[in-house]
Amino acid sequence: MSLQKTFIDFFTDRGHVPTTGSSLITRPGDPVLFTTSGMHPLTPYLEGEPHPMGRRLTGVQRCLRTTDLDEVGDRTHLTVFEMLGSWSLGDYGSEQTLRWGYELLTEGYGIDPGRLYVTVFGGDNQVELDQESLRTWQSLGVPIELTTDDNWWSNGPTGPCGPDSEIFLWTGNGTPTGTPSTDDRWVEVWNHVMMRYRRFDDGSLEPLQQRNIDTGLGLERLTMLLEGKDSVYETSLFEPWMRIVPGLWKLDLESQRIVIDHLRSSMVIVGDGVHPSNTGRGYVLRRLIRRVLTLLWRVDDGYTVSDLPMELYKHTLEHFHQGELPTLVRRILIDEEIRFANLLERGRRIISHERFQKTLDQSDFDYLHETHGLPRELVQSLLP
């Protein structure tokens, strides 16, 4: 049984209704370009609007985060990933969600309870210690670390927020040591948010009329932990990528991971109907593709995304249940490569002009961007 099915079945058996995993594209009027978390599509219902499927929901949501782009290339960060989630819309509270979390991890997934550690909100000058979560974990015999900022969840500077409790899994050899904040061999696997407050522009808080539970368990990270791998890239989810890409292009480990992540993410974004452009979602896609090409051409200017076999397109689009034809997605990526190669060639010619044989200032970057369509990062990559 797949990890996703185990998760959904567990919560379905406990009265939750499975929701269809939404697109990366946010609903009309949402100021955020892409879905960033499992709760994102549920925002109106977390704020009190009745959900047509009831108060207990569960699902798998594909997400995209650009805030982590600089961290992609390490063991666990990805641009596009899947989040397993469970939600209580004004129904049960923190004790119930934490007990279910412990049960699913230890009995459903077979994790040794001795490899678990949790963090709980320790209180600050606005909100007191999360006593209910603390008592629950104490009764289950799980070691606890109290923190403040690290255990407060919000979706932005204002809006719904509240304390959370994060569950960590020991990934080191031998007997676990230290705490999640002192030893990075403790890896966060599942976050349970007690959404109890609304924050206003002035920083003040008011209790929500509807107190919610929002949990998020990253599929790729869970797979890494359960398969005993050192990175998400070594898991079964990335098997064809790690089998094929190292034979295509000779890259160092970090570059290889970034290239795999960005290409996979680009396929998923295109699969949700986005095309490269100079604004909005299309610009995020364009940046990902161009970052791949920059890394490849730094090693060998003969490398090209047309080297990628159709197997990788089919595997990725099928995994994310997307209807776009692999041949169409491939065509869009190759067209963007051709466009970028032409832009680079034109950029080299323009920058070779004597006007730019000096240290460039802001007015030069503005001119090159506004007149010739050369963004600053591209110009900087062409400078000697």
With cut-offs at 50, 70 and 90, classify the pLDDT of residue 17.
very high
Q: Which of 17-26, 50-59, 206-215, 341-350 has the lowest mean pLDDT?
A: 17-26
Contact 22, 38 (CB under 8 A): no
Ramachandran quadrant class, 157 (left: phi over 0; alpha: psi -120 to 50; beta: rest): alpha
Instruction: Fill in the amino acid letter for 113.
Output: P
Instruction: Check pLDDT > 70 for residue 150.
Output: yes
Q: Residue 103 has what pLDDT?
A: 98
Q: What is the mean pLDDT of residues 74-87?
A: 92
Residue 202 near residue 185, CB atoms below 8 Å: no
Residue 6: is its pLDDT beyond 80?
Answer: yes
The C-alpha atoms of residue 30 and residue 125 are separated, in whole angstroms, by 32
For the cut 70, the answer to whether the pLDDT of residue 16 exceeds it is: yes
**CA 344, CA 294: separation in Å to the nearest integer?**
10
95-104, 283-292, 349-358: the lowest-pLDDT one:
349-358
pLDDT digits (tens, 9 = 90+) for 166-182: 999 999 988 999 999 99
Q: Which of 277-281, 305-309, 342-346 has the highest mean pLDDT?
A: 305-309
Q: What is the arithmetic mean of pLDDT over 299-324?
A: 92
* pLDDT on residue 163: 96
In which band, very low, low, confident or very high, does the pLDDT at 69 lie, cut at 50, 70 and 90?
confident
Strands 144-147 and 186-199, bridge-based pairing: unpaired
Question: Which residue from 23, 68, 72, 36 is spatially nearest to 269, judged by alpha carbons?
Answer: 23
Cα dihedral: 23, 323, 75, 340 (round 10): -100
State the pLDDT confidence band at 154, using cuts at 50, 70 and 90: confident
CA-CA distances (angstroms) from residue 349 to 374, 377, 379, 382? 12, 17, 11, 10
Mean pLDDT, range 62-86, rounded to an integer: 88
Per-residue pLDDT at 119 exceeds 80: yes
Q: pLDDT at position 82, please?
A: 94
Torsion of CA 351, 352, 356, 357, to 10 degrees: 140
Q: Is the pLDDT of residue 344 over 90?
A: no
Q: Does the structure show a pLDDT above 70 at 21?
A: no
User: Beta strands 80-89 and 152-154: pairing type?
Assistant: unpaired
pLDDT at position 1:
64
Out of 29-38, 42-51, 195-204, 256-265, give the one with best mean pLDDT.
Answer: 256-265
Which segment of 18-32, 67-81, 103-117, 282-296 scores lowest on mean pLDDT? 18-32
Does 233 have pLDDT greater than 70?
yes
- Choice between 85 and 360, residue whose per-residue pLDDT is larger: 85
Mean pLDDT over 120-132 rounds to 93
Nearest to 86 by CA among 120, 119, 121, 42: 42
What would the mean pLDDT of 294-313 be, rounded to a whole number? 93
Q: What is the pLDDT of the chain when averaged over all its residues?
A: 91
Residue spans of the domains in the chain: they are 3-229, 235-382
pLDDT digits (tens, 9 = 90+) for 243-257: 999 999 999 999 999
SS (H, E, C) the chain: CCHHHHHHHHHHCCCCEEECCCCCECCCCCCCCECCCCCHHHHHHHCCCCCCCCCEEEEEEEEECCCCHHHCCCCCCCCEEEEEEEEEECCCCHHHHHHHHHHHHHHHCCCCHHHEEEEEECCCCCCCCCHHHHHHHHHHCCCEEEECHHHEEECCCCEEEEEEEEEEEECCCCCCCCCCCCCCCEEEEEEEEEEEEEECCCCCEEEEEEEEEEEEEEHHHHHHHHHCCCCHHHCHHHHHHHHHHHHHCCCCHHHHHHHHHHHHHHHHHHHCCCCCCCCHHHHHHHHHHHHHHHHHHHHCCCCCHHHCCHHHHHHHHHHCCCCCCHHHHHHHHHHHHHHHHHHHHHHHHHHCCHHHCCCCCHHHHHHHHHHHCCCHHHHHHHCC
Question: What is the rounded (10 degree) CA torsion for 69, 74, 80, 86?
Answer: -120
CATH superfamily entry for domain 3-229 = Bira Bifunctional Protein; Domain 2 (3.30.930.10)
pLDDT at 98: 98
* CA distances (Å), origin 83, targets 37, 61, 143, 191, 367: 7, 5, 25, 11, 43
